[in-house]
Structures are given as structure tokens and as C-alpha cells.
Structure 1
């Protein structure tokens, strides 16, 4: 399905993706961010896909303790994927060769936009699933906590993301187009909340840029 490019001001989220949370951009930086947003808006083709399946469709036992805790009490799951499309990738590759500052601004803007699109699709899913009398956890993506990135292969296969939204997985289990996200939500016939992974078992905890700054990816 097609998703709507966000209309609200994402400056705060973009600066966070830049690693500059709380910084007040000067006029030159503001112009750069506006230019990046204009270029990305023209290049991106936001799309999303989702599917509800029995929890047994996933081999949760091989996906780490964090995901198992997140899905505890659930009997079904929702798989979702969102992408900005290949046009965004083409734009960033071109700018990386011609204007590295603008390329960085577009990259940060794309990261903020993809997060907003995930929120949009999750809200749609939540309304539809809750209308059937069921409850959902929050979303959880492969690569967080001790959940292996390789799970992306199965998620994309079960969602048929190649035909559905033009998104595939590399041999290194990375998504392409690169500004794409997969996630899992648990569903149940009773209230469930899921569980955040935290830093303790995160695969990136020893080289996390957020932890080096004394914060986390949630803040």
C-alpha cells in the first residue's frame, strides 16, 4: 500500500538522527535541512505492507530471549515492512558523490521519515486489529537486543516484500532499498504490552554511538 509522506515538521527527529539532539540550527543549516527535505520528498515513494500470522509461523525460539519476552502471551503476530523506495537510494548515492553535506542531511531526514511512516502503518494496523477485539504489543525489529538480523530474511519472505513493496534482503541480511524497516508486533485476545530489549543484550552495545554520548536509541 502507498503511505503518505509526513507533513509535520520533523526537525527535532532529524537532528537526533544527525546526533545533534537539542542543537538549534543556524540559518545555513536550516536551509540545508529544507533542501534535503524537498529533494527527499520528490524522490521517495513510501510504501508499506503487513500481514497477521499464527505465532508458530516464526521460529521464536531461535530469535533470542528479547523477542521471546516481547511476544510472551501472544498467540499471533503481525509482520510489517516499510520502505522509502529506490528513488531515495538513488538520490543519496548521487549526493554522496557530489555534495556530502547535503547527502548527510538527506540521510538523516530519510531516517526520521521512515520512522514516522512506521508509526503511520502501525497506527493503521492497530486500528484494524483492535476493531476485531484483539490487542497488540509495540513493534520490534530484527537486529535489536539479541534478535538476529538474519530474521529479516524470513520476514521479507513471509510478507513477499519484493513483489509487495520492492524491498529485498542482501546476503548480509540488510534491506534494500536501505531506507526500509521490518518489524514484528505480537497480538493476543487479552491485553499485552511487550517488553523493550534494552542495552544489556544489544548486539551493538560495545560500539553504540548513543551510549558513547550517555543516552540510548530510545531518547
Structure 2
């Protein structure tokens, strides 16, 4: 499904730029405004979600953190969202021609992706309410000890290549780069899931947030 682009939360953009809590000056505000305008022109946001029974996706090697997140759930909701190849092409071009603007567009795209994922999740939650079901939060490959290799099965189950133009590289990364996949659990009783902490995260050694004394939830 096509998604409506809406402006990225500026505080989130600054967080992605490593400047959380900073009040940008006039020049920086102008740079971020230009980044927003360019991204909106280039992006073609799309998303998809699908319900599955719990055994439809092989999660035996998906880590203990995801298993804990889905504890008590009787079904799954899979979702995928992408900003489209145009956003990636814009970022690659600017990385070679205007590094500062490229960084601003990259951070803006990451922040805008958060909002797009919220939109797709909201639609899934409306469906869940109509069925008398509850959903956990989103959990993506790469969180905790959940391996990135799960991306392949997630995208195959959602048929993202045909539906979104979203594929997985041999290195288990999504392309276009500004894309997200996630799993939510469904249950006939209230569930919230459990996000993994930093202690078991696969990215803990290279995480930019931890280097600044933050977490990805801050």
C-alpha cells in the first residue's frame, strides 16, 4: 500500500544526527528544511502487513529475546515499510556532492521512517481491535540476539520484492536501505512484548547510541 509522507519529527532528526536536545541555529534549520524538501520529492513510501499463524514462520533460530517478546501470543503480524529507491539514490548522490546535506537527508529519512512504521502498525492495530485481539510492539531483526538472517524469511513471507521493490542482500541487509521489517505478536489477552536490552544486542559493540551514553529508546 502507498503511504502518505509526513514531515519527520525534528527532535528525532537531531537525535539521529547525534545532537539530541540541541536547539539548531538558523543555518542548521535551513539545512534541515532543505533536506526535508528534497526527501519528500524523492521518496515513494510504501508498506505492507500480514497476519500469520505462529508456526508459519520458522523462529527456532531467531534468538531468545524474540521468543520472550512473543511469549503468550497465538499469532503473528509481519510488516515491512520502505522509503523507496529514490530516497536511497538521493542520499548516495549527496554523499558525493554535499556531505552535510547528505547527512541531514539521511537523518531525516530515518526519522520519517519511524512515522511510516507507526502508520502501518496503526492499521494493523485497527484490524486487531476489530478481531478482539491485542498486539505487542514491533520487533525487528537485529534487536537483541535476533539475527539479521531472519530478514530473508520475513521478506519472503510478505513478498516484498513484488509488493514493495524491497529485497535482502547476501549480507542480510535491506535494499532500499531506508526500509524496516518487523514482527508483532497477537493474543486474545493484553500483551506488550519485551524489548531486548543492550546486554544481548548484536550491535552493542558498534552502537553509536551507546558510545554517547544513550540507547535507541532515548
TM range (shorter): over 0.9
Q: State the match for 2:6 in structure 1.
A: 6
Q: State the match for 1:113 in structure 2.
A: 112
**Aligned equivalents of 1:51, 1:184: Cα separation in 2:** 10
**Aligned equivalents of 2:16, 2:214: Cα separation in 1:** 13
**Aligned equivalents of 2:209, 2:88: Cα separation in 1:** 25
Shift, 1:156, TM fit: 0.2
The DSSP-based 3-state class of the residue aligned with 1:200 is helix
**Aligned equivalents of 1:107, 1:206: Cα separation in 2:** 22
Q: State the match for 1:188 in structure 2.
A: 187
**Aligned equivalents of 2:106, 2:184: Cα separation in 1:** 27
Q: State the match for 2:52 in structure 1.
A: 53
Q: How does 1:127-206 map to 2 (within 5 A)?
A: 127-206=126-205
Shift, 1:76, TM fit: 0.6
Q: State the match for 2:61 in structure 1.
A: 62
**Aligned equivalents of 1:214, 1:149: Cα separation in 2:** 25
* 1:41-82 per-position Cα deviation (integer Å, ceiling 9, x unaligned): 000000000110011012222100000000001111000000
Paired residues in the alignment total 218
The DSSP-based 3-state class of the residue aligned with 1:14 is helix
TM-score by length of 2: 0.98
**Aligned equivalents of 1:71, 1:199: Cα separation in 2:** 19
- Two-structure CA RMSD over aligned residues (Å): 0.9
**Aligned equivalents of 1:75, 1:132: Cα separation in 2:** 13
The DSSP-based 3-state class of the residue aligned with 1:60 is coil
* 1:16-45 per-position Cα deviation (integer Å, ceiling 9, x unaligned): 111110011111110000000000000000
Shift, 1:135, TM fit: 0.8
Which consecutive residues of structure 1, in runs of 5 or more, have no partner in the other structure? none
**Aligned equivalents of 2:208, 2:84: Cα separation in 1:** 27
The DSSP-based 3-state class of the residue aligned with 2:151 is helix
Which consecutive residues of structure 2, in runs of 5 or more, have no partner in the other structure? none
* 1:81-115 per-position Cα deviation (integer Å, ceiling 9, x unaligned): 00000010111111111111100000000000011
**Aligned equivalents of 1:61, 1:74: Cα separation in 2:** 15
The DSSP-based 3-state class of the residue aligned with 2:199 is coil
**Aligned equivalents of 1:214, 1:96: Cα separation in 2:** 27
Shift, 1:207, TM fit: 2.1
The DSSP-based 3-state class of the residue aligned with 1:15 is helix
Flag as ranges the 4+ runs of structure 1 deviating above 3 A.
none
The DSSP-based 3-state class of the residue aligned with 1:62 is coil
